[in-house]
Every structure is written in structure tokens, then in C-alpha cells.
Amino acid sequence: MHREIRIEKYGDAAKLVLRDQRAELQPKPEEVLIDVKYSGVNFADIQMRMGLYPDAPPRPFVPGYEVSGIVEAVGSSVSGLVPGDRVLAGTYFGGYSSKVSVPKNQVFKLPSSFELEKAAALPVSYFTARLALIEMGRVREGDRVLIECATGGVGTIAIQMAKSLGAEVVGLTTTPSKKAYIESYGAQAFTVEELEADPSIARFDFVLNASGGRSISKQLKRLDLTGRIVCMGLNASVGGGRANPLRVLKTVLGTPIFPVLSLMNKNRGVYGLNALRVLEDAEWVERLTKALEADLVRLGLDPHVDRVFPCEEVKDAHLLLENKAAKGKVLIGWS
């Protein structure tokens, strides 16, 4: 038997349901069965719980993009992993579960020194930050980098990655009391309002945008010549615990459209990022998993886990994130 948390109805955090599953999970030939210890909670899970996530499967479904745990069994064609190995894995949905069976190429064996708790906090944050800063943004030594949502899971890793690459980093938050958290990673911290009020905070080579809507046009003005902006989220469309169609519409309509000629004249680049689409490509999964191995050492990435909630308290895990009360990552623990 295993347990899983499902989205059966859209709505507030209380709509998440914990269910027992009696069916035995068996790994297919190319799969690895993992006894999950921790599942990562992401902003996207909140959007899908509200029915605001077009990529989500039809209800009922189990959300969750990432887990860490112990290999319980491997399929007949799997090599390089054995029962008992400590691993992290990307799960394209299904991660809010005490057991998962996933293809071998989505599983990464952990170095002995890396804690299981931190491991569940890594896959989404790392892959997203890597795609945005390195694959798309080509951030390099001396660049000036602006990271929005700097206190979240992705933001924390993005700051660490940019600093390790030798960039000068500015982190943004909507919560003044979290500025010290950003500064603790060696970045300058501003609230969104402080940035908007001070036009001299500018000439960025790279911006990581998470709010979407009008914030993109505002941040574009801060880019230096040849600057790149990566748009990865629509945070501005979320608030109040449930879907708010007016808020969503305002964010979507506020999102700018870029004529190529205007980008040419301004010497700027705009990227859109959907990591899920990249991770559907087996070659990219292999490439990024190899990069993770190297980057863990090269960039010294260290996810910050704010809190681990027992699976029975998943509602509180979602509330901590959506009420902007978390710093770094929130996890679900399976005992």
C-alpha cells in the first residue's frame, strides 16, 4: 500500500485529499521504484490546484514534480542503480506520493554527503535556474543579474548559481522582512516597490521574471544593451487562495507582445521558459542530469528548506507558500 495526495476538485488548499492506494506499484523494465521520503512543493502546484495550469492532467490527479527517497526495486533493463540507493527524481506530476515508479533517466543517484531533505528541494529549482541562467541567459562573470521571486525555491538556487558564475546579483521580494534572506546569499535586495521607485537600479545583463504581466515591460527598461530577459511565471495572476478570472485576464492582457524589429532596434532578447516542455525531451533530460552532477560540485548549490510538513498537513504546506510566508523550499514528508 502507498499514500498519495490528489487534486480531485479545484479550489483552496483544503481541497487537497490524502488517499490510501492499495494497488502494488511494480517498476516497468526501464523504471525505478522509489520509496519516497520527501516531495517538493512548487508554485505551479498551487496554480494547478486552482485550475490555472494548462499543462496539468485531467482530475483527479496527483500533482508533484520532484521527490527524494530510497530505491526499492529496479526494472529488468535498469543498470547503475540498486535497491537501497539514495536518489532524487523528477516526476512529471505524481510526486505527491509515498511511492513512485519513474524512468531511470529521471533518477539521479545522490552523492553520499547530500541530505535527502535538500535533495527533494533541488530538481525543479535547479533545472529551471540552469535553463534560464545558463542555457538561455548565458550569464557569465561580471554580468549584472536581476532575480525576481528571489526568496522562493527557484530564486534561492538562481541567486547561488549567478553568484557562482561571477555575476553581480540583485534579488527582488514583495515582502520587506525577507530582504535579509536575499542578502544572506551575497546579493543586493530590493522590494518590487523600491525597484519601481528608483530608475538608477538598471543596466542589467540578465533578468529572471516570475510575475508576468506588466512587470515584464517595467523590467525590460532596466536591461543594458544585449540584455536578456527570461519570463518563467505568471505570479501576478495568483492570489486569494482561489482562481480569480479577472486577475488572470489582467495579467495575460498586461503581458507585452514583442515585434522583432523593436527587439532589433533595442538590442535585447526575450525568452519564454517552460521547463516541463524541455524535460519531455529525453536528450535534454540526459544533458541536464549530467549537468546537475557537475554543477553540484562546480557551483556548490545548497537549497534552503524552510519547512517539512507531514503528508497529512499538505494544506498548510500550500498555505505557507501562497501566503508568502516561506523562504526557500517547502516539502511534504512521508514517514
Ligand X SMILES: NC(=O)c1ccc[n+]([C@@H]2O[C@H](COP(=O)([O-])OP(=O)(O)OC[C@H]3O[C@@H](n4cnc5c(N)ncnc54)[C@H](OP(=O)(O)O)[C@@H]3O)[C@@H](O)[C@H]2O)c1
| Nearest CB to ligand X, comparing residues 216 and 326 | 326
* Residue 148 C-beta: closest distance to ligand X, Å: 8
Q: For ligand X, which is the closer residue by CB, 42 or 219? A: 42
The minimum distance between CB 196 and ligand X, in angstroms, equals 14
154 or 311: CB nearest ligand X: 154
Q: How far is the CB of 275 from ligand X (least distance, A)?
A: 3
- Which residues here bind ligand X, judged by CB under 6 A? 42-44, 124, 128, 149, 151-155, 173-175, 178, 210, 232-233, 235, 238-239, 273-275, 321-322, 324, 326
| CA distances to 6, 210, 240, 241 from 174, in Å | 30, 12, 15, 17
CB 276, min distance to ligand X, A: 6
Q: Rounded to the nearest whole angstrom, what is the least distance from the CB of residue 4 to ligand X in the complex?
A: 21
Minimum CB distance to ligand X smaller for 114 or for 126: 126
- Least distance to ligand X from the beta carbon of 86, Å? 24
